[in-house]
Amino acid sequence: MDYIKQLRDLVGHMPLILVRPTLVVFNEYGQFLMVKYSNNEWCFPGGMMELGETPEATAKREIYEETGIQVSDLKLIGVFSGERLFTTLSNGDQYYNVIVCYTSKESSGQFTNNDSEILDVRFFSLEDMPENTSNISQCILLSSGFFSEVNDFQANHPKKSLRKETYDEDR
């Protein structure tokens, strides 16, 4: 994160455009891996790309740092951006995410938590997806075809209000 810290030293809290490769890892039961960040939101593993990194290398680095597992055979499922992925952190820093999302069914290793930002790591099915799923993960799920219809999501998560058209624009 030295690159982002250096940018912040120059521009303060002004909005930036940051690339955040993200990875949806499936286990043998068709469940997907999520991490619970210190803000108590569940999200697909991922993080900010550093200078000189490829999105694939960032996704692999981030999942290893956040979960202790290694992945291979990454497949690009989409690039997501736009107003719906604007973020303001608790310190006032603002940025627009450009999510480069991959999927993998090939993983190895044991879960370890070496990242102070991660509170928990678990596999979920669509039916038991946590209520406090991040906006980024919701966008990925709705825009990438993991749900056949938004109604499936709303039936399983009646407290959430998502409109499919919000996540389909600018895809």
pLDDT for res 120:
92
Convert the pLDDT of each residue in 37-79 to its tens digit. 988 999 999 999 999 999 999 999 999 999 999 999 999 999 9
pLDDT for res 141:
84
Query: What's the rounded Cα separation, in Å, for the pair 46 and 35?
Result: 9
Q: Residue 123 is encoded by which pair of tokens?
A: 């596999």
CATH of domain 2-125: 3.90.79.10
Judged against a pLDDT cut of 70, whether residue 102 lies above it is answered with yes
pTM, 2 dp:
0.80
**Going by C-beta distance under 8 Å and a sequence separation of 6 or more, which residues neighbour residue 125?**
29, 30, 31, 32
**Going by C-beta distance under 8 Å and a sequence separation of 6 or more, which residues neighbour residue 39?**
90
Q: Where are the domains of the chain?
A: 2-125
Query: What's the rounded Cα separation, in Å, for the pair 44 and 54?
Result: 18
Judged against a pLDDT cut of 70, whether residue 159 lies above it is answered with no
Question: What is the mean pLDDT of the segment spanning 121-126?
Answer: 89
Neighbouring-strand partners of residue 88: 94
153: part of which helix (H) or strand (E)? helix 150-156
